[in-house]
Structure formats: structure tokens, C-alpha cells
Amino acid sequence: MSRFLTAGLILFPFVGLFLAFPATFNWDEAIGNTVVYVLVLGFVNVWLGIGTAWWLMFTESRWKTAVEWFTFLPLFIPVLATMFGMYIALAQLGLVGTHIGVGLVLLVTTLPYSIRLAYNAMYVIGRPLLEQTLTLAPWSRFGLVLFPLLKETIRTIVLFSTVIVLSQFVLVQLMGAGLIPTVTTRLYQAYAGNDFALALQNTWVLILVPVLLYLGIGGLFGIWIRLVKGRLQ
Amino acid sequence: MSRSSLWISLFVLALPFTGVAFLIYETVGFDWSELNDAAWRASLAVTLYVTLVATAVSLVIGTWLARSVYRRRSTWLASLLRWPMFVPHVAAAYLFYVLFSGGFPFYGVVEANERHHLVVILTYVWKEVPFVFLMVIGTYAQLNRGYVDMAKTLQLTPFEQFKVAEWPFLVKPLLDSFWVLVAFISFAYEVPALLGVTFPELLGVLAYERLTTGLFLNAFESYAVALVWTLFIFIGVIGSYTLTAKRRRRIERGMRR
Amino acid sequence: MRRLKQFGLILSLIFLAACGTTRAEIAPTFEQAAEEAKQSTVNFYMWGGDDGINRYIDEYVAPRLKETYDVELNRVPMDTAEFVRQLSLDKRANREEGTIDLMWINGDNFRNAAEADLLQGDLLDKIPNAALLNEEAQATDAGTPTNGLEVAWGNVQFVLHYDADNVKNPPTTFDELHRWTEENPGRFTYPEVTDFTGNAFVRHLLYAEYGAAAGDGEIPDEFWEKLATWSPHLWKQGSTYPKSLAQLDQLYAAGDVWMTMGFNERRAEAERNDGVFPNGTRALVLEHSIASTHFLAVPFNATNPNGALVVINELLSPEAQLAKQDATYWGDGTSLDLTKLDASDRDAFLKLDEGVTYPDPERLADRSIPDYGPAVIDAIREEWERVAQ
């Protein structure tokens, strides 16, 4: 009984999704942009997150404490607060209204989480186990040991970065100068208008993208691990 | 491999600091007494209320759930808790808005857009409990059962068992979660903009509105508030981490058998 | 180390690419501008919350431009205040090649943009169709002189709309409206005063009390005390207000409230025909109605200012203005002076005056008042919080 109650409490907000059915599903530029951003940022976050966490874990340097704080503090800087300064900086680089500019600021909002998640996971696995892999060449180290070991962490990093990226409206609108539509910016316009079905359709997309990605990565890992196991035998 | 990614990370993460520098630059010569108006004061009060209640409730429920998953090995709960994590905050806000703004059974009991901000808090709790759960469950997973068993053998009360055998290890993940949630909730725009009220508004909403509507003079107010708030959280983070540093390190050493 | 060098090289390349950009030049005559603009794209930034307006641009204007001038029109939906702020950041960052070529603007946003020097001047003499403009509408924008920094695109008046199936005896003055809200609690509200329309509604109440005398921005305390007496009878007892006109329209469409409002006396026709607004929707003109003009402007750092001129000229053509005023798309009043048009064009405009939700044009013209200046808009925005508390 209490199980049903708990499940009900956790799942009830999803009821909202079924109040109206999305009329038609059209693949458009906004969905395309969103999917590309999510994939690219997921990949970059895994790469930079694990790489940076690796450095923090294994490199002895007198800068270490400073670097730790430098990668940690951005977690606590509200996006709204830094957005305008970032705009000025990116305008100097000519990156406003470009895909690279938007990708960069989205990376800013996600990377601190990824580094933290990767670091915590490596910490749990423990230094001794990871140190043994240092004898392997970088690529096989990554493919044969780190990937399978950090499987769940990588999934979590991708999930986190995806969900954070999909939440950004104000930031994408400003840095993209309105020229780069995503499902989220579209959703805001739908909220503002009168179209309930359109708003709900965008909400569906926003939830389905992370779910599918999470399942997809899980599947890919399954295949990869089976391959690695085959090689080891 | 790790060095190049470190450099790129440092470059990317320099951007938000540039943002803070910009705020400092903009607020030089700002007349701070301008912030002493009713809207900002009320906003600060309601922001503290919403942030602290949502954060505290999320921490308690998240820890409690992680604890019961750990004790009873209820994997079904662990996989169920993943679901809210798939929902971006914007989408969550919209779902709650749809459910609580009228025409649906909950209407009348709890309503969106009212002054107690209950639906705002509810949305955040729903979204953040899984986050706290995730942060805490890792600690439980590697918790040495010996401590718990020993506490039981000594016939301590359940509360004392928790205090002695679990709490010391939870300080770090809970501190992490606390500050992440406080920083995030206190200055966000999307959720309170959709579910909040005209007065009082949460800091993020008020700051964004003063920036976008009309008077450019008000932009400096927003910059000043953003700056003060960021520094306030920085001080909180750095302070609480240095205060607990010694203790945490000792525990961490003890934990690695 | 090698990687570090590569990285530094890329960085400096990005910096080099960013420097050395200069402002785009406007051609001296319209013919040259049209020649320059061929095969170019114009980024037209405009508020995107109305489906009819968006379709007018995408389905009517854009294909015509492509055909006549070989110019691509890219409509970018964004809130006006947001892109004005973007421009002010551009100014601060010395960004000389911006993303906005043309924008839709008026009121305090224009005042801000003009004060911050964000707009290109001397637009009128480069645009042939500007000769057809209604000079009175072109002269000022909510009390601020336009000085050739923007070109009038449309001219409308403020009206309320109500659902005649629910409202049997509609009020005729603002005082009666107040009494009506007391008799029908929860059935009326207005957008927050940060919203363009919500602010205008409060200005109407101010005018009802003090007339043109309140134009200096000094609003007596009694006014706010009286306005506060409206609150308990408004939607949700006045504890919250719609954030935007679109939200008020949503409430009206859903039947939660029985009145909505807005600039543009023809705005409800298409909504009613599409079944969004109730069938009983009718116009309500109280004792006075603020006339408002909205404009087109070119920002200081437009990359394609010549293309923007071409688009403005096309938007001011009698055919495009006629299609705009028709209820099919938008129903927005023309900014042209009908006396300057050919007889056939003029007749076509006059024929458009029939609509179920349209107010009586003579009565509307009769009650028209000019807007207060920006001082009042600002004062309302600053002080209204006392009512919302």
C-alpha cells in the first residue's frame, strides 16, 4: 500500500502530460538544434569532466587547491547573474548569435556538475584501482577500464547535462540573439501564446529527449561491455 | 589527455568569473540605498522562505529515502526516483502549472500563483529530492556496516544510531547538496516566473524583470543584487567548507578501510 | 606543451577574427539600397506572441519581398525589451556588426533606445513610401518625438472586449466598470503594469480621474488608494495579476474572466472567428481611449541596413498596409494618411470597417486621446506595487 502511495506521489505530475494530446509532431529546426546541442554537450561534458577530474585526482601541483575551487565555485554562480558579463565577453570574440557561442555558455552551466560527478565517482572507485590503469595506453585505458567502470557515472553526467541544457531559456535567447531556436525557447513562446496543445507538445519533447538518450546510452554500454568481455576471454 | 581537458575546462569556467567581474565593474559607484525599497525587501524575505523550505524538505526526504533504500534494499524505489530527473525544470514547472492552475481536482486545495508559493516549493521538492537522493545514496553504498552494527550492539536509540554511525558521513554530500540547491533555487527565473505571484517576487524574477522592462536605471539595481547574492553564497560555501574541512578529512580517511 | 600552443593559436585567431569589423553603410538613395540588398537576408526582430501577426509576416510579406526585391526576410520572435537590452549590451561591447537589421518597437522601449543612441537616424527621406505617412501618427511615440529614428507602421486605439453572453449590461465609463467588478467578483483583471497593455489600462484610469493634468508623472496618493479598492474584486482577489496580455487573453478565452483589453480595436475579430475567443465577444469603448502608434526602426549596428530600408518601404506600401488591416491576419490600423492615397486604395481601406467585434469607428475617433509621456509610464511602474501588495 505504501509503495503505491510513494509511486503515486512521485509519478503524479506526469498526469499533466496526458491532459491534451499533441496534435502533430513536426521535426523542425528547433528540435534539430536541441538534439545536436544535447549530443555534443553530453559528449564534451563526459570528456572534459572525466579528464579534469582525472587531473584533480592524480596530479600533484601547487595549483591544485586553486584549481579545485576554480572548478567548484561556478556551481554556485547563478546563471542569471553572470549572463550579461558573458555576453560582453562573447561579443568581443564575435560569438554572439553563433552556435559556438551558445554551446560555450551551455557548457559553462553544465561542466561544473560533470567535473564534480566524475570526481566523486573516481573517488568511490578508489585511487589504487585507477592507478593500475596508468600502465595502459590512453585509448585502451579509456575503452577497456574507465568506460566500463564509470558506466553509471557517464550516464548520469549525460543525463544531468541534458536536463540542464534543456532548462535554459533566458541564456540561449540572449547568447543566440534569438537566431538559434531550441525546443525550450519555442516552449516559452507557446506558454506566452494561447496554444495549450503546442506547449504540451514541446513539454513532451523536453522529457522524451533525456529519457531516450539515457536508454540509448545504456544500450550502447551494454553492447560495448559485452565486446570488451569477449576480448578479455 | 587530462592536461588538455583541464586547460579547456579552465578556459570555459573563466567565463562565469568574467561575468562576476562585469558585475563588480558595473556596480562601482552604485548607490546601495536604492535597494532599500519594498519590492526588494519583500523579495529577499520570500526568496529566503522558499529557498530554505524547499531545500530543507528536499534534504530530509532525499536522505530518508536513501536510507530506506539502503536498509531495505528497495531497488524499485531507487529506479522510481529516477523519473523526476528526466524532467527539465521548465517542463516540471509547466506540468505543475497545468495541474494546479485550474480545471483539475487539486484546484481549490492548493493553487498555483498564490502568496505562500506552495506550488513553487512543491515543484522544487519534486525535482530536488531525487538529486539529494543521488548525492546521498553513494555515501550509503560505501558506508561501513560495522559502524551501524556496533551502534546497534551498544543498544543506542535509533536516533543516536543515526547520529553516530551515519550522520558524520552524510555531512559532505549534504553540504554539497545544500549549497547547490540554495544557489540554484534562490536565483532561478523559470519556475517562479510561471508559478509565482506579482508581489512579492523571488529575487531572480524581480532582477530579470527590472533588467528587461523599461528603465535602464534599474539595471544597476539588478546587477547589484546579483553581485551581492553571488558573493553571499560564495562566502557561505567557502566558510562552511573550511569550517568542516578538518572533520571531513578525518572521516574520509577513516572511511577508506 | 604542444597542445597548449595550439590552443593559444586558436584563441588568438578568434580574437583576430573579431576585430576589424566596421559598421555597414546605408546607400544614399533607395534605388541603390535596393540594388545592394539583392539576395541578402534581413533579420526582423519582433514580439512573436500573436499568431495572426506572425502569419502576416511569414505568409504575406516575406514571399512578396522575395519576389519583388529578391530579399529574404527572417522573422525572429523576441520580446521587445529583450532585444533593446541586447542592443545596449552590443553598444557597451562595441559590437559594430550586430544581428538585428530591423525591429518593431514603440513606447518606452523606443524612448530607452533613443536615449541610449541605439538607432539609425534620417530614415524617412530614404524611404519613398514614407511620403504617404499620417504625419500626426509619425510625429510622436507615446509623447516622445520620433525625430526620424523610427517609421510609423501601424496606428491603433485602446479598447476593451467583453463576452456579451455573460455581460448583459456592459459599463459605459471607468467608474461603472469599477462597480461592475464589484458586482461580478473575480471576472475582471488587467496585466501587471510592467506589461505594455496593463500599464496603459492604469493610464486610462488616471485620465478618468485627472485628465491631461497628470502628465507630469506626479500621481496623487488618493489615486493609488482608489485603485487598491479594485483589488478584492479582481481575479484571484487581486493577489496576482497576469504577467502579460497573452495570459489575460488565455483567461478570457477559457471563460475565467469576462473581459480583456488591448491596443488595436480590431484585434479580437480573427480570434473570435477562429473560435479562440467566445462567440459573444464585442468591443467596449469607455469615455476615452488612448491612441497609439507602433514603429519600425533600424539599430546602429545593423549588418544589412539597406535590406531593412527595402523591407520598411514594402511594409508601408498601400497593398501591404491593406492586408495588415484586414482581419484575415492581423487587423492592425494603417499608419498611412488615407487622403494621400489614390481613390481606389482609399475605398479599399474604408471597406474594411465592418466587423462583429469592431467598435463604432466614429465613436472611437471621437473618444481618442493622446498618450501621456514616458514620465507617467515610469511613475506607474514604480508606484503600482503599492496596489499589488
Cite the DSSP H helix spans in C237-341: 245-253, 267-273, 305-315, 318-325
Buried b (16+ CB within 10 A) or exposed e, C60-91: bbbebbeeebebbbebbbbbbbbbbbbbbbbb
Q: What is the average per-residue pLDDT within B128-148?
A: 87
Query: Which chain B residue is nearest to residue C243, measuring alpha carbons?
Result: B198
> When comparing pLDDT for B2 and B229, which is higher?
B229
Q: What is the mean pLDDT of chain B?
A: 87
Alpha-carbon gap, residue B184 to B204, rounded angstroms = 10
Contact between chains at A86 and B16 (C-beta distance less than 8 A): yes
Alpha-carbon gap, residue B174 to B253, rounded angstroms = 18
Q: What is the average per-residue pLDDT within B96-114?
A: 73
From the list C85, C254, C378, the residue facing B211 with the nearest CB is C85
Chain C from 177 to 206: CB within 8 A of any B CB: 192, 194
Interface probe for A, chosen from B13, B107, B182, B206 (most Cβ of A below 10 Å), is: B13
Cβ count near C97 (within 10 Å)? 14
User: What confidence score (pLDDT) does residue C82 get?
Assistant: 87
**Using a CB-CB distance cutoff of 8 angstroms, which residues of chain B are in contact with residue C108?**
214-215
The pLDDT-based confidence of A5 (bands split at 50, 70, 90) is: confident
Distances (CA, A) of A27 to A98, B195, C85, C231: 21, 30, 32, 45
User: What confidence score (pLDDT) does residue B215 get?
Assistant: 54
Residues whose CB falls within 8 Å of the CB of residue B44, separated by 6 or more in sequence, listed in order: B203
Cβ count near B142 (within 10 Å)? 13
CA of C298 vs chain A CAs: smallest distance (Å): 16
Q: DSSP secondary-structure letter at C370?
A: P
Interface probe for B, chosen from C7, C144, C385, C387 (most Cβ of B below 10 Å), is: C385
Contact (Cβ atoms closer than 8 angstroms) between residue A50 and residue A149: no
**Region of residue A185 (left: phi > 0; alpha: psi -120 to 50; beta: else):** alpha
**Using a CB-CB distance cutoff of 8 angstroms, which residues of chain B are in contact with residue C240?**
113-115, 196-198
User: What confidence score (pLDDT) does residue C184 get?
Assistant: 96
Contact between chains at B13 and A16 (C-beta distance less than 8 A): no
Is some CB atom of chain B closer than 8 A to the CB atom of C383? no
Using the structure block, give the residue that is written with the C-alpha cell 555531512: B171
Residues whose CB falls within 8 Å of the CB of residue B89, separated by 6 or more in sequence, listed in order: A163, A167, B123, B127, B188, B190, B191
Alpha-carbon gap, residue B95 to B93, rounded angstroms = 6
Q: What is the mean pLDDT of chain A?
A: 87
CA of A115 vs chain C CAs: smallest distance (Å): 21
CA of C112 vs chain B CAs: smallest distance (Å): 7
Is some CB atom of chain B closer than 8 A to the CB atom of C239? yes
Distances (CA, A) of B55 to A117, B248, C55: 20, 22, 45
Q: Which of A52-56, A225-229, C143-147 has the lowest mean pLDDT?
A: A225-229
Is some CB atom of chain B closer than 8 A to the CB atom of A134? no
From the list A6, A81, A138, the residue facing B229 with the nearest CB is A81
Q: Are strands C151-163 and C72-77 parallel, antiparallel or unpaired?
A: unpaired
Contact between chains at B38 and C385 (C-beta distance less than 8 A): yes
Residues whose CB falls within 8 Å of the CB of residue A227, separated by 6 or more in sequence, listed in order: none
User: What confidence score (pLDDT) does residue B255 get?
Assistant: 54
Interface of C with A (CB under 8 A): 14-15, 17-18, 21, 43, 45, 48-51, 76-78, 82-83, 86, 89-90, 92-93, 95, 99-100, 244, 246-247, 249-250, 253, 276
Is some CB atom of chain B closer than 8 A to the CB atom of A120? yes
Is some CB atom of chain B closer than 8 A to the CB atom of C89? no
User: What confidence score (pLDDT) does residue B99 get?
Assistant: 86
Closest CA to A171 of B204, B51, B185: B204
**Using a CB-CB distance cutoff of 8 angstroms, which residues of chain B are in contact with residue C385?**
38-39, 199
Cell of C354: 465592418
Is some CB atom of chain B closer than 8 A to the CB atom of A189? no
Contact between chains at B190 and A207 (C-beta distance less than 8 A): no
List beta partners, residue C160: C261, C284
Please give the interface size between A and B, counted as residue pairs whose CB atoms are below 8 Å apart.
Answer: 209
User: What confidence score (pLDDT) does residue C258 get?
Assistant: 97
> When comparing pLDDT for B116 and B104, which is higher?
B116
From the list C194, C377, C389, the residue facing B209 with the nearest CB is C194
Interface of B with C (CB under 8 A): 3-4, 7-8, 11, 38-39, 42, 102-103, 113-115, 193, 196-199, 209, 211-216, 219
Is some CB atom of chain B closer than 8 A to the CB atom of C356? no
Query: Which chain B residue is nearest to residue C84, measuring alpha carbons?
Result: B212
User: What confidence score (pLDDT) does residue A130 get?
Assistant: 78
Alpha-carbon gap, residue C155 to C170, rounded angstroms = 26
Interface probe for B, chosen from C79, C240, C378, C380 (most Cβ of B below 10 Å), is: C240
**Using a CB-CB distance cutoff of 8 angstroms, which residues of chain B are in contact with residue A67?**
6, 10
- Reduced to 3 states, what is the DSSP secondary structure of residue C152? strand
Contact between chains at C78 and A96 (C-beta distance less than 8 A): no
CA of A232 vs chain C CAs: smallest distance (Å): 33
User: What confidence score (pLDDT) does residue C31 get?
Assistant: 94
Interface probe for A, chosen from C99, C243, C252 (most Cβ of A below 10 Å), is: C99
Alpha-carbon gap, residue A178 to C82, rounded angstroms = 10
User: What confidence score (pLDDT) does residue B257 get?
Assistant: 41
Phi, psi dihedrals of residue C44, rounded to the nearest 5°: -105, 105
Phi, psi dihedrals of residue C106, rounded to the nearest 5°: -170, 180
Is some CB atom of chain B closer than 8 A to the CB atom of A140? no
Kindly tell me if the per-residue pLDDT of B28 is higher than 80: yes
**Using a CB-CB distance cutoff of 8 angstroms, which residues of chain A are in contact with residue C13?**
none
Chains that touch B (3 or more CB pairs under 8 A): A, C
Contact between chains at B19 and A83 (C-beta distance less than 8 A): yes
pLDDT tens, residue order, chain C (389 aa): 455 555 554 555 454 455 446 788 889 999 999 999 999 999 999 988 788 899 999 999 999 999 999 999 999 998 888 899 899 889 988 899 999 999 999 988 899 899 889 999 999 999 999 999 999 999 999 888 999 999 999 999 999 999 999 999 999 999 999 999 999 999 999 999 988 899 999 999 999 999 988 888 889 999 999 999 999 999 989 988 998 888 899 899 989 999 999 999 999 998 899 888 999 999 999 999 999 999 999 999 999 999 999 999 999 999 999 999 998 899 999 999 999 999 999 999 998 878 899 999 899 999 999 888 888 988 998 889 888 87
Kindly tell me if the per-residue pLDDT of A166 is higher than 60: yes
CA of B135 vs chain A CAs: smallest distance (Å): 9
User: What confidence score (pLDDT) does residue C20 get?
Assistant: 47
Cell of C385: 506595487
From the list B39, B196, B211, the residue facing C385 with the nearest CB is B39
User: What confidence score (pLDDT) does residue A114 get?
Assistant: 96
Chain A from 19 to 78: CB within 8 A of any B CB: 19, 47-48, 50-52, 54-55, 58-59, 67, 69-71, 73-78
Contact (Cβ atoms closer than 8 angstroms) between residue C349 and residue C341: yes
Cell of A58: 592524480
Interface probe for A, chosen from C45, C89, C248, C272 (most Cβ of A below 10 Å), is: C89
User: What confidence score (pLDDT) does residue B158 get?
Assistant: 84
Cell of B155: 543498544
Residues whose CB falls within 8 Å of the CB of residue B110, separated by 6 or more in sequence, listed in order: B100, B118, B119, B122
From the list A84, A87, A93, the residue facing C18 with the nearest CB is A93
Contact (Cβ atoms closer than 8 angstroms) between residue C206 and residue C159: no
Q: What is the average per-residue pLDDT within A54-68?
A: 89
Closest CA to C61 of C49, C50, C51, C75: C75
> When comparing pLDDT for C99 and B190, which is higher?
C99
Q: Which of A99-103, B138-142, C37-41, C311-315 has the lowest mean pLDDT?
A: B138-142
Q: Each residue of C53-80: pLDDT tens digit?
A: 999 999 999 999 999 999 999 999 988 8
Q: ipTM of the assembly?
A: 0.89
Interface probe for B, chosen from A2, A4, A5, A10 (most Cβ of B below 10 Å), is: A10
CA of A230 vs chain C CAs: smallest distance (Å): 35
Contact (Cβ atoms closer than 8 angstroms) between residue C55 and residue C329: yes
Contact between chains at A85 and B3 (C-beta distance less than 8 A): no
